[in-house]
Chains A and B, each alone.
Chain A
Amino acid sequence: MVRFLARRLVNYVALCLIATFLAYSLAALTFDPLANFAERTPPPPAAVIEAKRAELRLDEPVPERFAGWLGDVVRGDFGTTVTGVPISDQLFSRIGVSLRLFLVGTVLGVAAGVVVGVASAVRQYRFSDHVATFLSFLVLSMPVFVLAQLLKFGGLQLNEAAGTTILYFQGEVTPSFQGSALAELLDRLQHLVLPTLAIALGQIAYYSRYQRSAMLDVLGSDFLRTAQAKGLTRRRALFTHGLRTALIPMATLFAFGFGLLVTGGVFTERIFGWFGMGDWLVYGVQQQDTNIVAIVTLFIAVLVLISGWLSDVLYAALDPRIRIR
């Protein structure tokens, strides 16, 4: 099993590099960062544009540029944006902002999704199942940018009803916040609620649909009937035999529900004005800035890698057939 996991890890690291290379080359080939620069009024002199071209190494072949960039990144130099600002100025604060959103969203989404899905399956066609099904259908049918807008609206109503600001919907902390650490934590929490909901509701709906369907397949299976026939209580049979089997497809889904989360994160950050990696990606594409796009891709690739490997670990832990191989 250790060998299986080690092999997967090596595989993922290679994938991560290739994925970053792919994104870097696509960006380098599609983007024309000087187009924005040259259209400034008054137009910069040709010599300045040429100097910029040399500085951004636009004339060199893409693999060479990528190798140079990767070498710098390994040494801890992330390069500069097209406008000349060092990437590392914002990188770490942006990573922190995004990770907070992703971690809370994933944990909340997976846990609540599995619980809701199992509960729906066990009580199939009862009232609670209908409500859960309807709500998850509604959320899954709603893009994050509509959901976020509705949450903003809800937050506004709540604030008006309470007569004070309970929930904020701009930024991740009140700018130039003064006060004790505890007060700051509270302030951050008030900012966190709506964006986290925007991202987690979709995850809950996504996992609960699949979990319900996987659990229903298990509920109709022979081995569960056997487990009950040999004398286990229904509850015991459901949780020790049923749930474990029904979680196996979830392990695969987990890695790739994460992609959904990252994409949702881009919208959430944009709409709620969080300066995270997703917000940076959109900015990078709009500015046609290869360095920004490459570093965001690397960040996302590493995250997907970790979640993919975690899903392998879960898979191996849940399914004995994998461990033996």
Chain B
Amino acid sequence: MSASVESSGATGAAPVGQPVAAVGTSRGRLVARRFLRNWRALLGLTVIVLLFALAYLGPLVNRWGYDELDYSAFLTAPSADHWFGTTQVGADVFAQTMRGLQKSLVIGLLVGFISTGLAAVVGAAAGYFGGWVDRALMWLVDLLLVLPSFLIIAILSPGFRGRTWLVFVVLLAAFGWMITARIVRGMTLSLREREFVKAARFMGVPPWKIIFRHIVPNMSSLLIIDATITVGSAILAETGLSFFGFGVQPPDVSLGSLIAAGTDSALTYPWLFGFSAGFLVLAVLSVNLVGDGLRDALDSGSQRGTGGAR
């Protein structure tokens, strides 16, 4: 352990030793270098890019649309004509899977970024201002946490049937930020008492500037892990709700509704279940790998460092 502490300590000290003007760029370069050295994170990033490309370019190459039915092929196994096979009513599984992948990826990214941003602002404001702001915001957080988001969105689902899926995105983001906000608040409470924050305050820096310049950046590793975890969990939440028919509504499809349709015959007609489930797991796994890689790259204090710690 002592070896890893020394080497990571050396990493942390490296930017400090350089001229002040160069600190910004050198940290960015350091982070990029550490990230690029992490093969798992790179793999994850590559897979995400490939999935996006596949999801948007695949349908252009494929002969079948996601809402077209081939009346000459019911429940056929994957073949040259239908790459991933067909369903009970003759829909092309490849076209449907690509369409579902598009939906799930876009929804996941949007929800992840919106809700983590919301969590950082709410949590830091509650922790920094304290008093009634803190009490009101945390009360709201507690309230939303007592009701799992799954439950609220499920209840609301008959209401947004027939509307655009963006309503669904807003709902997922609006009910996905609470846990992070609580953790952010806890960290803000201790950061608020640190010397550099006090110094900034006594020098007359306005509160919001302190929050965005001193408090939020000091939690960046947490926020970045969390943003990626949220992208992943948003995809999972979306597919979960769609699984029960509470999310993306037919005739549109998401990976969740596809899996739901294939789950009963997963053992006899594996292509109905396997492709959508496989792409779903692959997408979420890649997002999580990228998050972990970013964490190692950003967190110079305790982690991998310059590679001295293996």
Chain A residues in the interface with B (C-beta under 8 A)? 11-12, 15-16, 18-19, 22-23, 26-27, 29-32, 124-125, 137-138, 140-146, 149, 153, 156, 213, 216-217, 219-220, 225, 234, 249, 252-253, 255-256, 259, 262-263, 266-267, 270-271, 281-282, 285-286, 288, 293, 296-297, 300-301, 304-305, 308
Contacts and interface: CB of A to CB of B under 8 A. Distances in A.
A221 to B, nearest CB: 9
B77 interface: no
A78 B142 CA distance: 26
Q: Is the interface of A mostly helix, strand, loop or mixed?
A: helix
B276 to A, nearest CB: 9
Interface in B2-60: 4-5, 8
Given A11-B142, A140-B232, A220-B301, A124 B151 contact: no
Tell me which of B154, B183, B288 has the highest count of chain A C-beta atoms within 10 A of its own C-beta.
Answer: B154
A242 to B, nearest CB: 11
B263 interface: yes
Contacts of A285: 154-155, 157-158, 244, 246
Nearest to B159: A30
A165 B182 CA distance: 46
A282 B145 contact: no
B179 interface: yes
Contacts of A12: 142, 146
Given A26-B155, A137-B289, A252-B182, A259 B145 contact: yes
Given A23-B147, A146-B259, A216 B155 contact: no
26 contacts: A15-B142, A15-B146, A19-B143, A23-B147, A26-B152, A29-B159, A30-B156, A31-B158, A140-B288, A143-B243, A146-B277, A149-B277, A213-B225, A219-B1, A220-B5, A249-B183, A249-B186, A253-B183, A259-B149, A267-B243, A282-B154, A285-B155, A285-B157, A285-B246, A297-B147, A300-B151
B149 to A, nearest CB: 8
Given A143-B280, A282-B154, A220 B148 contact: no
Contacts of B182: 252, 256
Contacts of B309: 124-125
A263 to B, nearest CB: 4
Given A140-B288, A220-B302, A145 B243 contact: yes
A256 B4 contact: no
A204 to B, nearest CB: 16
Contacts of A23: 147, 151-152, 155
A44 B85 CA distance: 43
Contacts of A281: 151, 154
B146 A305 contact: yes
A272 to B, nearest CB: 12
Contact of A138 (B179, B225, B285, B310): B285
Contacts of B292: 137
A54 to B, nearest CB: 22
B273 interface: yes
Given A137-B289, A219-B1, A256-B178, A26 B156 contact: yes
A23 B147 CA distance: 8
B147 A145 contact: no
Interface residues of B, number: 57
Given A149-B273, A255-B145, A304-B146, A141 B186 contact: no
B281 A262 contact: no
Contacts of A15: 139, 142-143, 146
Tell me which of A27, A149, A219, A282 has the highest count of chain B C-beta atoms within 10 A of its own C-beta.
Answer: A149
Given A137-B285, A137-B288, A285-B246, A143 B239 contact: yes
A131 to B, nearest CB: 14
Interface string B258-302: 011001001100000100010011001101110010010000011
Contact of B303 (A146, A216, A249, A262): A216
Contacts of A256: 145, 178-179, 182
Tell me which of A142, A146, A271 has the highest count of chain B C-beta atoms within 10 A of its own C-beta.
Answer: A146
Nearest to B221: A213
B2 to A, nearest CB: 9
Given A27-B155, A143-B243, A146-B280, 8 more contacts: A15-B142, A141-B285, A149-B277, A249-B183, A259-B179, A262-B150, A285-B244, A300-B146
B236 interface: yes
Contacts of A146: 259, 277, 280-281
A19 B183 CA distance: 22
Contacts of B178: 256
